Structure 1
Amino acid sequence: MTLLLGRQARLRWLHLIIGGALLMPCFLVGTVVVGMYNRDGNAFDSLPLQLTAFAYALPMAAVTGLFPLARPLSVAAVRALCGVPAERLADGPARTRQARVRTAGWLTLHLALGAVISGMTLALTPFAVTVMTLPFLSSVRNSAVLDLPRALTRPWALALAPFAGLGMLVALAGCAAAAGALLARRAPLLLGPTPDDRLAAAERRAADLAVRNRLARELHDSVGHALSAVTLQAGAARRVLDSDPEFVREALAAIEETTRRTVGELDSVLGLLRQEDEGEDGLTGPTLDALDGLLARCGVPVSYVARGDPGTVPAAVSRAAYRIVQEGLSNAARHGGRAAPVELRIAVCDEELAITLDNPLSGRTPVVRPGGGRGLRGIAERAVLLGGRAEAGPHDDDRWRLTARLPLHIPAQEKR
């Protein structure tokens, strides 16, 4: 009985009745078409004419399934009423030809079965109830509307009438359950993801992976900058070890401070990998407020000019800006040398944060990390993820310029 009248069966029955209601406008148009060629007959009084109008209605229903929004509406109804797992159905409008054809096939099947079950429900239910009341109501038995055959008024027929009416209702419930089960089985095939949908899902997963790769960029920028600064300080200290002990002490102090700070940042990023102590947007790390300390121990002379208040920049943008400046200084140290002056300009405007970093090109072979560097690509990725842009390249023949523009107002999903 649960299969026929359980909650799932009732919901599927409702889904079928909705399909029948949706087909009704097309069916009425079909009756008009039939009436144009059969002026002597009424489509509502003739079963053959009704079937003909039904045949005209189905192609019109199929055409409506070709519209892109037909699929999400159908999917929502199937998820709510047919008990089909959500992961087996496609999301979003049908954009491709294959998806639209499948949706049209689904809509045709749904509306056709729905019309049949709806018609049976409307016609058979009151008839079955009437049959069940024949033994108890003489007014029903003697009704001119029913005009019962004489055999059905005999005592044995009246005794069987309640069971016959109940059997009709059970048969109706069985037909509705079978039609609902058929729709539930076909829904994943006709409303499920097409190959193009699966490709789009793979692209979304790739985008999610790119967002997670921000943690890898945090490690690269933090540790890479520290190693570059330590290498420069240690190399300079080695060259003047005998002639300038004071400079050697300053270089060793800078190395100590850089490594201590980097260990703290490394612990922070590894904590995120362990899903511990997340910040408000899932990332922690230094912001532009710590820029003075970075400039003091980066190993190259920096001329810094700020326009606006960097302290008003949102945390996610401020962290990205700090990392961009950090990587830019590392590149300047590797390509320009320790003595090459660097010009850093940061401007906080109404809508964006602009970063410009200039340094001379020394012409010497830069210090290259094993395996090559990924700093410029990381800078570009940081900017793009925030909805901004970054560029780097030669400027005025003998200089190198890094520019980045980051929007100050970014969507919540891009902050995470």
Structure 2
Amino acid sequence: MPRILAPLLSATTYARWLHLVIGLVFVGVVLMVYPGVEGWSSGELLARAVPVDAALLGLAALVPAMRRAEGVQARLLLVPDREQDIAVEPARGWADRRRTAAWLVGRVVLGGLVGGASVLVPAAVFDLVARPGQAVFGLRSGGEGRAGGPGWAPLLAPVLLFALGWLVVWAGRLQLAMAVRLLGPSPAERLAAAELRAERLLERNLLARELHDSIGHALTVTVLQAGAAREVGDPVFAAKALEVIEETGRRAMDDLERTLALLRDPGDQDALGTPGHGPGGEDARERPGIDRLPALFETARAAGSPVEARVDVPSGVLPGVLSRESYRIVQEGVTNALKYAPGEPISIRIAVRDGGLELRCANALRPHGSSPARSGGSPRRGGKGLRGIRERAVLLGGEATAGAESGEWVLTVRVPLRLGG
């Protein structure tokens, strides 16, 4: 029972009813102007009014703003589940104008039918209840009715009202389906919207990777330095640890500011790494490249992990994007080594071979039985960091592998040098 009555009591139903009745208002205005309502039978009125209505609606559909006005009205009164299913853009071509014309005609026809029923049914119900002696729909409610026993006709009143209510419910749903079909985005608009969503998703993933790599590395180094300073208890070591924490935090803040600048204004050239007036002639927020790897290695050494690095990359060989992405890949590899095997030696090899760039980051696995307190307590299982490395490698046209080899955890990345700088 609630499922039957709920639509009849819903505010959405009455909003759609109002939208339908507007169609009857249009028909009534046209009838009063031409051919008038006096002296014509119902059939003659329809025969004369329908062509006029269709012609006027077709002309209205030629106005680009009409499609937008109808879309706004449909969103407000038809209450779609998703507003984006009904467009609020002006007509951009003849296909949109044809769909708008079909919508206007369908809306007026359906609205005229429902609006007429909304006038006739309440009038009939009033006659059945207030004037039972009059004939209604061929029935006489007083005495012997033509189609029933004495006094039964007033019982039709609630049935008629119930039927009218469900007529409005289904007509409103049909009107909404028509609006989605005829006023919804065109295939070209849907494709453009899908491309825009995909582009925004890629941008969000890029920013998420940037924050994960930079902030994750900074937090790992900070935790290790703070823990080591507390355990050692040497004031000199503690001062050095605080210096490393300060420098790492400052770099992380620079990366965070640059990423937030991209979120606020994607066209901010400084945030994208335009040379400025900072130290070394570069903006402090410039994305680090492969030339910044020595500072990264020093941070890892200060955290207690020996780093042996060999970088065989001639100056100017790497395109800018490849240099920056390589830095992030190595940074993530060093961060994983510090997180899961603190204190263990880290070996870095970067070289240009056979028209491609090869990066190899290896660290000794912690021996079985060692305390997991500082290593995270669990082996690496291909989390967000390794997944981000693989995504970077694929976008650069290369590949990345990671896993245990001969007592070491080895990360290997190979990418081609065919990118433009």
For normalisation by structure 2, the TM-score amounts to: 0.47
For normalisation by structure 1, the TM-score amounts to: 0.47
Structure with greater contact order relative to length (CA < 8 Å, sep ≥ 6): 1
